[in-house]
Amino acid sequence: MDIQSRTTYDWEEFISLLIEDQKKIYNLQLFTTAEVTPLFVEDDQVEILVTVKERWYVIPSVIFTLADRNFSEWWVNQNRDFSRVNYGVKLNHDNVGGRNEKLKLLAQFGFTQAFDLIYSKPYIDRNQQHGLAAQVTYFTMKTIPLRSVDNRQVFYTNDNEDVLRQNIAGNIRYTYRGSFYNFHNITVGYNQTSIHEDVLAENPDFFQHGDNQLRFFSASYSYRHDKRDNVAYATEGQVLNVGLTRYGLFSNDDVNETEFSLIANKYLRITPKIHFVTGVSGSTYLSPQQPYTLVRGIGYLPNFIRGYELNVIEGQQTVAHKNSLRYELFNKAYDLSSFVPVDALSTFPVRLYLSANFDHGHVKDRNNLPENARLTNRYLYGYGLGLDLVTFYDQVFRFEYSVNNLGFGNFFINFRAPF
């Protein structure tokens, strides 16, 4: 909290600090509600009452998710194929030692078999400036995307349904928080990917070097400025994330590539019920070609244009500019304490927003691949209307109808905020 004891503030500054401190406490994502209230004990003296309702920190859950990039990709391009479903178990502990340490364990089967372990400790020092995190991931796939044709992914499964891709990766991240809203991250990792020989027969350039093994160390630096009122679905503030990643640190690494990435979003409150969001995201590689496992473009998070959910537009330089004007239709938190005796589950918030959207962008493909020339190296845009639902534990559901500049319109469902 910015508020200091034994300090004198003018009234407007004092109220502004209380509002910002309340947002910061809620954005820890440890509480379902957070309120900071001044209690006057004298004409010029106040005590600060902080009232929170804790979330349920230990959440075991069943995994039942789609393996595809989004719901519309699965529904339309993959013909609602239930073999492309992931299932398993997951355990999230969001407050392991009482100081916002997070532990995530995942055992997943189905389309992608995966095992994942993540542990993060936001602060390892008394001044709460330095943090550490570590992650180990292992997964296998029997069906993999080989390439894209006509700006859609082409998937391949061999006749024996063998494992076509096996991946193991690990990384360690160091975080330095210079102030309440500014973070610096340094990550060092190792990645090893093996593919079946049939994959190389179908696409000899899958790894670019003709081998069925891809091994490399990587290092990245990112700077993040995050001053949003709600990190899950913001209506005020801004976020900036700038990253530089080096794939291949040593001479015997199989990759020699550098990537620069950017995310910059602004959230503007116009009236109590209306806000405008605008955001730019993009990335660029220095080399003209990359292993297919590192390919970027429109359709891969965070770069997308509404109306092109069914497409992947791949290249070495990508930029997308997303815009939404939103109106709050409904905002109410239901008290379920008479039905649910557990405090962490007794509040069920529902917020509904009507949104008018316009996105545009461009993907530069230096190789000018003719099979994808329809959408690469040209200006793209999409627009439409949507309904956003924000509910329990800040879960987001988006229902949108969008039309792109080719005149194609469709209804799309997404399960995360676009900004």
Q: What pLDDT does 210 receive?
A: 82
Given CA atoms 128, 129, 130, 133 in this order, what sign does their dihedral have? positive
- Of all residues in the chain, the percent with pLDDT exceeding 70 is 100
Q: What is the mean pLDDT of residues 148-175?
A: 93
pLDDT band at 58; cut points 50, 70, 90: confident
pLDDT at 345 over 80: no
What's phi and psi for 210, nearest 5 deg? 80, 0
- Of all residues in the chain, the percent with pLDDT exceeding 90 is 68
Using CA atoms of 158, 162, 164, 168 in order, give the dihedral in degrees to the nearest 10: 170
Residue 196 contacts by C-beta under 8 Å, 6 or more apart in sequence? 158, 162, 163, 164, 165, 212
Q: What pLDDT does 336 receive?
A: 86
d(CA 333, CA 35): 14
Per the CB < 8 A criterion, the answer to whether 223 and 241 are in contact is yes
Residue 280 contacts by C-beta under 8 Å, 6 or more apart in sequence? 262, 263, 264, 265, 319, 320, 321, 322
pLDDT band at 140; cut points 50, 70, 90: very high
Neighbours of 399 (CB within 10 A): 14
- What confidence tens digit (pLDDT) does each residue in 251-309 have? 999 999 999 999 999 999 999 999 999 999 999 999 988 999 999 999 998 899 999 99
Going by C-alpha positions, the residue among 375, 340, 345, 338 that lies closest to residue 360 is: 375
Going by C-alpha positions, the residue among 240, 246, 241 that lies closest to residue 285 is: 246
Per the CB < 8 A criterion, the answer to whether 281 and 303 are in contact is yes
Q: What pLDDT does 290 receive?
A: 93
Per the CB < 8 A criterion, the answer to whether 334 and 377 are in contact is no
Q: Which domains does the chain have, with CATH numbers?
A: 11-54 (no CATH), 58-414 (2.40.160.50)
